Amino acid sequence: MVKEGQREPLLEIRRVTRRFGALVALDNVSFSIGKGEIFGIAGPNGSGKSTLFNVITGIPFGPSEGEVILSGRPIHRLRPHEISRAGVLRTFQKDAEFATLTARENVYASAVYCGQMSSAEAKDAAERALDDVMLAKEHRTKSASNLSVFERKQLMIASAIAGRPKVLLLDEPAAGLTKPEVSGLSDLISAVHARGITIVLIEHVLPLLLKVSKHLMILNHGAVIASGEPEDVVRNPEVVEAYLGKREAGL
């Protein structure tokens, strides 16, 4: 594995703060994500995880203070569609597909919009993305609302990778999945990563995070309380107290 000091940063978050009135949802957060990494993020509910994805993508808002740098270029003043076209794409905790369009049409729309492709290119890119997430051919003509929970996850990831991101931000993709499906999702994430896409994974399902992440960062009350090798991070007493302890207590 590449050592911390040697990794080439793809995405850098520098002293990012996000306020909502008096609430500080992100408090002076700095970290960097290496090219080709799978970077895991965990933390209790309300710790600022989704807000972090919001400020990186500008969807629906950017940071109050601080900078977001992609491949050495500041992106935090760009508009959301410019950020996605620069190569940062995200998924959402809630279903965000067009329910009445077919799976294939959804992925195609994403390729056209985010990947800025011609119609023919987008058709190819959509089919390749659907192959990559292994969505069975017979499901591709179904409307998104008729897909199963796992198939909608496949669709969500296919829609994101069809736009050819450099970095893909996944916000709790395992939510609502059964244990065997979580294992299927882990294979999907590995397959996307194998295509050369850097991945940032917010997740509550710790075994999934530990299985796929090379680096793990923990947020608590909008601040980074631990960051490093996943196995070390989950043994950190502050992390156990803030997060794992609560989980064990069923909170």
Catalog residues that contact ligand ADP under the rule CB under 6 A.
20, 23, 25, 43, 45-51
Binds 43: which of ligand ADP, Mg ion, none (CB < 5-8 Å by kind): ligand ADP
Binds 119: which of ligand ADP, Mg ion, none (CB < 5-8 Å by kind): none
CB of 89 to ligand ADP, least distance (A): 18
Our CB check for ligand ADP shows the closer of 92 and 98 to be 92
Residue 236 has phi, psi (to 5 degrees) of -65, 125
Residues between 36 and 55 that touch Mg ion (CB under 5 A): 49-50
Question: Under the phi-then-psi rule, with left for phi > 0, alpha for psi from -120 to 50, and beta for the rest, what region is 42?
Answer: beta
Our CB check for ligand ADP shows the closer of 20 and 207 to be 20
- Grouping H, G, I as helix, E, B as strand and the rest as coil, residue 151 is helix
Our CB check for ligand ADP shows the closer of 50 and 102 to be 50
CA distances from 60 to 1, 86, 133, 178, 245 (A): 35, 17, 27, 30, 32
Q: Report if residue 91 touches Mg ion, rule: CB under 5 A.
A: no
Binds 51: which of Mg ion, ligand ADP, none (CB < 5-8 Å by kind): ligand ADP
The half-sphere exposure of 45 on its side-chain side, counting CA atoms within 13 A, is: 5
In 3-state terms the chain splits into helix, strand, coil percentages (rounded to 5) of 40, 25, 35
CA distance 43 to 71: 27
CB of 203 to Mg ion, least distance (A): 10
Give the interface with Mg ion as residue ranges (CB under 5 A).
49-50
